[in-house]
Amino acid sequence: MKKKMLFVLISLVLVFVTVAACAQPAAPAPTPEPPAQETPSEEAPQEEAPPEIPAEPDLLRVAITPQMIAAPFFMEERLGFFAEEGIILETTSFPAMAPAIAALASGDLDISFMGPGVHPLAARGDVEIFMHSHSGIGDFFFVNSESGMTTIEDLLESGAPIGVPRGSTADMLLTLVLRTQGFDPNDFNIVNMDVAGVVSGMAAGAIHAAAIWEPNLTEIKLAVGPENIIILGDAADYTDYVAFTASYGATPAFVAENEDLIIRFIRAFRRHMDYMIANPVAAIDATMEHTEGSREAHEAQQRFVIFFTADEILQHFQDGTALAMYDSLISVMYEVGATEYFAPASEWVNTELLIRALS
């Protein structure tokens, strides 16, 4: 029953967006005008001018993740696209983004990367999303066969702990896999662990099953041997129902007070992203210079991430595709119990700024 509710809910979201995008109302027929009196002619409304580059650059404090998906910031030293937009970056890396969102609220940071798992904080009203980062299919539920367990049934019968960061997309994936396979997640020994705890626990043999995302899975494979990892479910199995979407956002107050600055940030970031898409090896090289992860892990993440060019993401924000992606994410997270917060994406995604920045 849960599975049917989930699929119906997402289908309704996608149908709604499609209809809204395609079924525009016809324009009303013109009505006769009375004879015009001689009055000064009205000027046609002017489009908003793009923001000017300030004489003194603006400092922008940005929370990022220490992974390949943050390569647009790692490449700034060489490319200088943010500097060309009059922005000096001050970046802080977070292994998990919930503390970064708290830092936005306290005023210690201005903008934060948002992995899929923290989007409920936007639905709650803490953050206003203004730019899509990427979508991914790199979440996995797996077991180490060296434990003697190879199936979901083995995990159920043994009561073995399954490590997962609660409230993350890995947690959502774990619930989806169990429910669609006919299991009740409450019957399993699911343990809340941070990302570092999952990686170190699997490497040390303290736990034998987990749900996590790349590049962390590759780090685990390097520690225990890739031949010992059995995948029990992955995000690619559910792309028809949910978009594992990541973003950038800020507090609603910061967005309202800094529209021109955010537009310049979007323009610079998307130039970096286009360069990264065209030069994937350069993106890995820059990531290696700024992070501690292995090259194999960053390359693995690159294979499971879907990046969009500036032209593609502009089209998605204009035609409703982006809002449908966000609606699918929050709907599924709410349906499977990964969050208690739900609101339509149109209430917490600002599409206007990206459209202005890239048009």
Q: What is the pLDDT of residue 146?
A: 97
Answer for the pair 51, 260: CB distance below 8 angstroms, yes or no. Answer: yes
Q: Is the pLDDT of residue 46 over 60?
A: no
Span 52-103, pLDDT tens digits: 888 899 999 999 999 999 999 999 999 999 999 999 999 999 988 889 999 9
**Is pLDDT larger for residue 112 or for residue 294?**
112
Taking Cα atoms as reference points, which of 8, 60, 56, 66 lies closest to residue 290?
66
- d(C-alpha 284, C-alpha 288), whole Å: 6
Cα dist from 215 to 259, 276, 298, whole Å: 33, 18, 6
Residue 47: pLDDT band with limits 50, 70, 90: low
CA-based radius of gyration for the chain = 23
Tell me whether residue 172 is exposed, middle or buried, using C-beta atoms within 10 angstroms of its C-beta: 0 to 12, 13 to 18, 19 or more: buried
CATH code for the part of the protein at 139-238: 3.40.190.10
Span 173-197, pLDDT tens digits: 999 999 989 999 999 999 999 999 9
Q: Is the dihedral of CA 348, 332, 238, 137 positive or negative?
A: positive
Q: What percent of the chain has pLDDT over 90?
A: 74
- Run of H or E residues at 135: strand 128-136
Written as one letter, the residue type at 279 is N
Q: What is the pLDDT of residue 21?
A: 38
**pLDDT, averaged across the chain:** 87
Q: Point out the least confidently predicted range of 11-25, 94-108, 334-348.
A: 11-25
Span 97-106, pLDDT tens digits: 889 999 999 9
Predicted TM-score of the model (pTM): 0.81
Residues 37-52: b if buried by 16+ CB within 10 A, e if exposed: eeeeeeeeeeeeeebe
- d(C-alpha 157, C-alpha 327), whole Å: 36
Taking Cα atoms as reference points, which of 95, 64, 65, 67 lies closest to residue 196?
95
Cα dist from 226 to 13, 168, 213, whole Å: 38, 24, 15
Answer for the pair 265, 60: CB distance below 8 angstroms, yes or no. Answer: yes
Same fold, 58-136+243-358 and 139-238: yes
Tell me whether residue 237 is exposed, middle or buried, using C-beta atoms within 10 angstroms of its C-beta: 0 to 12, 13 to 18, 19 or more: middle
CATH architecture of 58-136+243-358: 3-Layer(aba) Sandwich (3.40)
List helix spans (H) across 124-189.
Answer: 152-158, 169-180
- What average pLDDT does this structure show over 280-301? 93
Q: What is the pLDDT of residue 157?
A: 97
Q: Point out the least confidently predicted range of 4-8, 209-213, 225-229, 269-273.
A: 4-8
Span 141-177, pLDDT tens digits: 999 999 999 999 999 999 999 999 987 889 889 999 9
Q: What is the pLDDT of residue 48?
A: 67
Cα dist from 150 to 6, 75, 138, 207, whole Å: 28, 42, 21, 14
Q: What is the pLDDT of residue 162?
A: 98
- What average pLDDT does this structure show over 206-224? 95
What order do you get walking across the sheet with 87-93 strand by strand?
Answer: 87-93, 58-64, 111-114, 244-250, 128-136, 305-306
What order do you get walking across the sheet with 209-213 strand by strand?
Answer: 190-192, 162-164, 209-213, 139-144, 229-234
> How many angstroms separate the most distant Cα atoms in the chain?
90
Domain layout of the chain by residue ranges: 58-136+243-358, 139-238
- What average pLDDT does this structure show over 313-330? 97
Written as one letter, the residue type at 188 is F
Taking Cα atoms as reference points, which of 92, 89, 70, 93 lies closest to residue 81?
89
